[in-house]
Structure 1
Amino acid sequence: MTFKDSVLALVIILAWGLNFVVISFGLGEVPPLLLGGLRFLAVAFVGCLLVKRPNIPLKWWCIYALPMGFMQFAFLFMAMANGMPAGLASLVLQSQALFTMVFALVFLKEGVRFHQVLAISLAGSGLLMIALVSGVGDMTLFGFVLTLFAAASWAMGNISARTMSQKGFSVNVNLVIWSAWVPPLPFFVCSWFMEGPELMQSALLSMSWVSIGALVYLALVATILGYSLWGYLMSRYPASQVAPLTLGVPVVGLSFASIILDESLLPLQWIGVCFVLVGLLVNTFGTRFFYQLKTIFKEA
């Protein structure tokens, strides 16, 4: 990458890593489902003024946006409102890569390689270590499970995106932004029935500059800016070079959560974090590593 593009990559990692701390601030005053609806409404209103409408049938907007937008963030926001620390949320959500592998095997009949099985085993062991101490530190088991549901929803969105690509539809930042019109309705309906109209009204009327700032960050920085820069890098470099950038997100998330929110992890959770990160590394670079290893043995 050029120096400029390397800086843009760093901006993405920082923006998405800090995103989890900002969510915590937003949830301090706004209930999770209402916050999710407001986030996507802001993305849709602002984003549609900046990018062209994708030439994709509306049903595919829904097939993509419901798991990727509504379900993922409904589960994530509820998880963080119910005892899931921001730092750990940034890490556990990355298990979407493992869920994507499993769903691709089941629904798309894609093969699974040895390094992918190894990645699932390592990351799965790490997640189990993190879950075993739920209720002892800051994390609750309920929040942890909801975050896993969020990761699984993200993976379902990935499968939708792959299916759309196979049918000739381009899954890019235009779709991400314009499909943001889909999640607000289910978010607001669920908020009405689960959080109640009184809480919704109270939260809207009493929003402070902290809540408004969090909403602006989630919509403009984490979503519109983040995905625009991501799309730019994906258009200039191989996916194998850009995709590993997401590995930096939980590192930044854990760091910011420790500094800003004073979150701390138990020893077993730190071990679990290391296992998950190693599993994600194996999943990302395993093909290249085992290919080079095979080449070395052939030449020996």
Structure 2
Amino acid sequence: MTLRHFFLVLMVVSIWAFNNVAIKWGLLDLPPLFMTFMRFVVVALVLIPFTRITRAQLPWLAALAFTFGFMHFSLLFVGISYTDAGTGAVLVQLGTPIAMLLAWVILKEKLTLMQLSGIAISLSGVVVLTGSPTIPNWWVLALLLTSACGWAISNLIVKKAPPIKPLTMTGWLSFMAIPIVGVTSWLTEAHQIDALLHASWRGWFGILYSAIASSVVAYSLWYALLKKYNVNLLMPYSLLTPVLAVIMGVLVLGDSMNMFKIIGSLLVICGTAIAVINIRRLRMHARFPRLPLRRKRQP
């Protein structure tokens, strides 16, 4: 990997990590579901005019609007409103091992003993995290785990769906998620418009950063890098996201640290790394650089 691309990768994972800080800032002024709604409005306005979909893609995008738009993003915003940025980022990272388990059960994809061991380590991290005071109630943990499941289910849908360009998918699922999240916010929250009109720079920054920087800019750069490098080479860098989110939460937001959070986070991140990184193929590529790595399809 060239030095320029290395710094691009670090910039992308840093953008994703800081997104959790931006969300926490936004939630100081806005209800979580309404903030999610506004995020989807901005993403749709930015991307829809430049993208087109086919009739065959429509039902798959509608499904993603619920699993990725509502289950993942809405519940992530609600969950983070009750915990700190780092804990939320770590728990949502479980979407990766959960996706692997679902693919094993539903799609009959094979898992090695090493991958199963990594998944078990990740899940043990959740058990440790339950002892952290940063998770005040069991239902907060349930919300964030459901958010991770939404991300995992979305991966399975993308695998079965007809090909859809990444930014096209982002724009249209955001557009279709607007009524789902909007109605939910209207039924469960109050004074949304008043909150938006009186929001400080933090509220607007949370919306715009989550929509433009985290979704449009970061994912555009990430998929451009995927065209040049194999998934197995980029995946270790993506695992830095929850690590950086924890550090940024402490430095920027003043989040607390405790042994449950430290040990639980390490178990989740290390277990996920063991589950997803193909060490054998990386070693082969290191010994024989001209040997092409098998490219996996990205969700």
1:90, CA displacement in angstroms? 0.9
Structure 2 equivalent of residue 169 of structure 1: 163
Q: Which residue of 2 aligns with 1:109?
A: 108
User: Displacement, 1:2?
Assistant: 1.9
Q: In the alignment, what sits opposite 1:297?
A: none
User: In the alignment, which of 181, 187, 197 is matched to residue 181 of structure 2?
Assistant: 187
Whole-angstrom distance in 1 between the partners of 2:196 and 2:245: 28
Superposition pairs of residues 252-267 of structure 1, within 5 angstroms: 252-267=244-259
SS at match of 1:182: helix
1:174 to 1:290, Cα distance in 2 relative to 1, 3 A: closer
- Do the aligned partners of 1:115 and 1:286 also contact (CA within 8 Å) in 2? no
- Distance in 1, matches of 2:57 and 2:282, equals 41
1:4 to 1:273, Cα distance in 2 relative to 1, 3 A: same
Distance 2:159 2:236 in 1: 18
Q: What is the letter of the counterpart of residue 274 of structure 1? A: L
Matches within 5 A, 1:28-47: 28-47=28-47
CA contact (8 A) 1:33 1:187 kept: yes
- Following TM superposition, by how much is the alpha carbon of 1:289 offset from its aligned partner in structure 2, in angstroms? 7.4
Tell me, in whole angstroms, the C-alpha distance in 1 between the residues paired with 2:137 and 2:28: 17
Residues 17 and 242, structure 2, Cα contact 8 Å, conserved in 1: yes
Q: 2:94 aligns to what SS in structure 1?
A: helix
The one of 137, 140, 144 equivalent to 2:141 is 144
**Counterparts of 1:263 and 1:287, CA distance in 2:** 34
Quote the Cα distance in structure 2 between the aligned partners of 1:287 and 1:111: 17
Counterpart check, 1:219 vs 2:206: no
How far 1:254 moved relative to its partner?
A: 0.4
Question: Does residue 19 of structure 2 align to residue 27 of structure 1?
Answer: no
Of 152, 156, 167 in structure 2, the residue corresponding to residue 155 of structure 1 is: 152
Larger mean CA deviation between 265-274 and 151-160 belongs to 265-274
Match of 1:87 in 2: 86
- Secondary structure at the counterpart of residue 183 of structure 2: helix
d(CA) in 2 for partners of 1:57, 1:276: 34
1:129 maps onto 2:128 in alignment: yes
Which residue of structure 2 aligns with residue 295 of structure 1?
A: none
**Residue 285 in structure 1 maps to residue 282 in structure 2:** no
Distance 1:79 1:52 in 2: 31
Match for 2:185: what amino acid? S
Distance 1:2 1:52, change over 3 A: farther
Q: Distance in 2 between matches of 1:205 and 1:171?
A: 35
Give the Å deviation of 1:208: 2.0
Q: What's 2:197 paired with?
A: 205
Shift of 1:52: 2.9
**Contact 1:71/1:150 (8 A) holds in 2:** yes
> TM-score, normalised on structure 1?
0.88
Question: 1:181-231 deviations in whole A, cap 9, x for unaligned?
Answer: 1111111100010113xx223212212222112211111100100111111
Q: How many corresponding residue pairs? A: 283
* TM-score, reference length from structure 2: 0.89
Structure-2 separation of matches of 1:176 and 1:59: 15
Range with greater deviation from structure 2 (124-133 or 168-177): 168-177
State the 1:287 CA deviation: 5.1
SS in 2 for 1:48: helix
**Identity over aligned pairs, percent:** 27
Task: Tell me how far 1:137 sits from its aligned partner.
Answer: 4.6
Q: Which residue of structure 2 lines up, in the alignment, with residue 3 of structure 1?
A: 3
Of stretches 69-78 and 34-43 in structure 1, the one that deviates more from structure 2 is: 69-78
User: Per residue, is there more helix in 1 or in 2?
Assistant: 1
The one-letter code matched in structure 2 to 1:120 is I
Is the contact made by 2:83 and 2:134 (CA closer than 8 Å) also made in structure 1?
no
The farther-off stretch of 172-181 and 187-196 is: 172-181
Gaps of 5+ in 1: 293-300
**By how many angstroms is 1:118 displaced?**
0.2
The runs of 5 or more residues in structure 2 that have no matched partner are: 285-299
In structure 1, distance between residues paired with 2:247 and 2:136:
17
- Alpha-carbon distance between aligned partners in 2 of 1:238 and 1:47, rounded to the nearest angstrom: 27
Q: Which runs of 4+ in 1 moved over 4 A?
A: 289-292
